[in-house]
Amino acid sequence: MPASRPRVLLIAELCNPDWVSVPLEGWSLYRALTEVADVHLVTHVRNRENILKQGVQEGSQFTALDSSPVEKPLDKVGQLLRGSTGVGWTTATALSALPYYYFEEVLWQRFGARIQAREFDLVHRYTPISPTTPSTLGPRCKAAGVPFLLGPLNGGLPWPKGFGGARRREKEWLSYIREAYKLMPFYKSTRDNASAILTGSRATRGQISDRWQSKTVYIPENAIDPKRFGSAKSEGPVELPLRVAFVGRFVPYKGMAMLMDAAAPLIREGKVVLEYIGDGQEMPNLKAQAAREGIESGVTFAGWVKHQELQGRLAKNHVFGFPSVREFGGAVVCEAMALGLVPIVMDYGGPGEIVSPATGFAIPMGTPEEIVLRVREVLAKLAADPSVIRPMGERARERVFKYFTWKAKAEQVLEVYRWLLGERGQPDWGMPLAD
């Protein structure tokens, strides 16, 4: 029988405490899982130094593998295909699958004998989270009699209609043949041989074939660490102008131009000011848009802000405007809600599952013109009665601290471990999580 604390080989190729996005997710879940299980982390050598700085012992607690001999040539190909930094995400993900095959081969050379000797109760591949990246470990673990857990997987969100221009500016050439990833080696065997599949969103679960749905469990992809984010709080009386903030990469699908279009009349009336935190290829276009609309005095461009300093800056705002039309996860939405900001997001992909009717506004998808009008309507409503902002922001904080902390997520994953080890039935937390 397994120990009360499961012995887990956690595979997180992307896992770095000093980075953001998926690498920070990999690190955060690893640290949270160490509180409930005996975890040995396997990650990429690029993360080694930053992990060592956190006091994690190499050899006994984590292992860093080097797959750079295969990665470096493909990085050059990716740069040629993607062009501008920060776009062409589908292309980057597709190219990353090839060196990942090699990463798992190196992993099996190091840990195959230990897996076969049952030194681990289960093997959990956490990152990469993309559903397009197969694994060669499923059949090997199954042959060894060790459960193999995949996920949470998240991604593959189709481009909505009416955003062809943004799609082209994002250089998403491969998104036109997005289903081709199902023809990749080990795609089917990864899912056939996984003991369970975790999905991080409704959209990704909807992509799982009926043949694998019975072993699929929904767990939200994103979470926060209250020690790192959430100690600050947006508070005090809300007076006009409403302070609306956006945080993220300045790329077309994030919807920054639509947010400015929506806010422009209210900015001219002195009811709203807008702050953009981040940078990217769309910066010149946004500045030109503000000048064209005659609202430069009501729009601030803060540039990149260090993650350690972000919450202090963001907490000075009242509303989080984030009409991204193709957001898989939406960690920044969790962060804004943890500070008590009222979120305005699209009801499409991850953000629509994080935000509930009591805690913010999930805007129905439509054409760009329809989205602008819908966001403007929400902003006008809030400007007309700002007294609703603080109670809604407080409910947003409560929702995040209840469902979207890494501690809560680790406890959910632990229940999946227990299910795979025969200690309980299959868990089900609903989709999306209730208030």
Q: What is the pLDDT of residue 14?
A: 96
All domains of the chain, ordered by start, with CATH?
7-223+405-421 (3.40.50.2000), 226-402 (3.40.50.2000)
Whether pLDDT at 70 is above 90 = no
Q: pTM (2 decimals)?
A: 0.87
Residues 339-363 have a mean pLDDT of 96
DSSP one-letter string for 43-80: EEGGGHHHHHTTTPPBTTTEEEE--HHHHHHHHHHHHH
Q: What is the pLDDT of residue 170?
A: 57
Helix (H, G, I), strand (E, B) or coil at 287: helix
Amino acid symbol at 279: D
Residues 67-93 have a mean pLDDT of 57
Q: What is the pLDDT of residue 180?
A: 55
pLDDT tens for 281-301 read: 999 999 999 999 999 999 999
Q: What is the pLDDT of residue 89?
A: 45
pLDDT band for 181, please (50, 70, 90 cuts): low
pLDDT tens for 165-180 read: 665 665 554 444 455 5
Q: Which residues contact 222 (CB under 8 A, 6 or more apart)?
A: 25, 200, 329, 330, 331, 333, 334, 350, 354, 404
Q: What is the pLDDT of residue 156?
A: 76
Positive or negative: CA dihedral 218, 222, 228, 232: negative
pLDDT tens for 233-246 read: 999 999 999 999 99
Helix (H, G, I), strand (E, B) or coil at 148: strand
With beta carbons less than 8 A apart as the criterion, state whether 376 and 265 touch.
yes
Q: What is the pLDDT of residue 435?
A: 64
Residues 65-70 have a mean pLDDT of 88
Say what the alpha-carbon torsion angle 251, 222, 150, 93 is, to the nearest 10 degrees.
10
| Strand runs labelled E in 323-381 | 342-346, 361-363
Q: What is the pLDDT of residue 93?
A: 52
Backbone angles phi, psi at 213, to 5 degrees: -60, -35
Whether pLDDT at 137 is above 90 = yes
Residues 82-106 have a mean pLDDT of 66
Q: What is the pLDDT of residue 175?
A: 46
With beta carbons less than 8 A apart as the criterion, state whether 89 and 280 touch.
no
pLDDT band for 88, please (50, 70, 90 cuts): very low
- For residue 7, how many other CB atoms are within 10 A of its CB? 16
pLDDT band for 258, please (50, 70, 90 cuts): very high
Whether pLDDT at 412 is above 90 = yes
pLDDT band for 228, please (50, 70, 90 cuts): confident
Please give the share of the chain, as a percent, with pLDDT higher than 90.
75
Q: What is the pLDDT of residue 155?
A: 85
Q: Which residues pair with residue 198 across a beta bridge?
A: 217
Q: What is the pLDDT of residue 124?
A: 98
pLDDT band for 72, please (50, 70, 90 cuts): low
Give the Cα separation of 424 and 427 in Å (integer): 8
Q: What is the pLDDT of residue 159?
A: 73
Helix (H, G, I), strand (E, B) or coil at 245: strand
Q: What is the pLDDT of residue 71?
A: 76
Helix (H, G, I), strand (E, B) or coil at 125: strand
Residues 204-221 have a mean pLDDT of 94
Name the least confident of 130-134, 160-164, 301-305: 160-164
Please indicate whether residue 356 or residue 21 has the higher confidence score (pLDDT).
Answer: 356
pLDDT band for 433, please (50, 70, 90 cuts): low
Q: What is the token pair recorded at 128?
A: 């990469």
Please indicate whether residue 2 or residue 284 has the higher confidence score (pLDDT).
Answer: 284
Q: Which residues contact 400 (CB under 8 A, 6 or more apart)?
A: 224, 230, 334, 337, 338, 354
Q: What is the pLDDT of residue 432?
A: 61
Give the Cα separation of 273 and 271 in Å (integer): 7
Q: What is the pLDDT of residue 367?
A: 93
Residues 406-421 have a mean pLDDT of 97
Q: What is the pLDDT of residue 174?
A: 46
Whether pLDDT at 328 is above 90 = no
With beta carbons less than 8 A apart as the criterion, state whether 152 and 131 touch.
no
DSSP one-letter string for 211-239: HHHTTEEE--S--B-TTTS-SS---S---
Whether pLDDT at 59 is above 50 = yes
Whether pLDDT at 382 is above 70 = yes
pLDDT band for 274, please (50, 70, 90 cuts): very high
Q: What is the pLDDT of residue 87?
A: 45
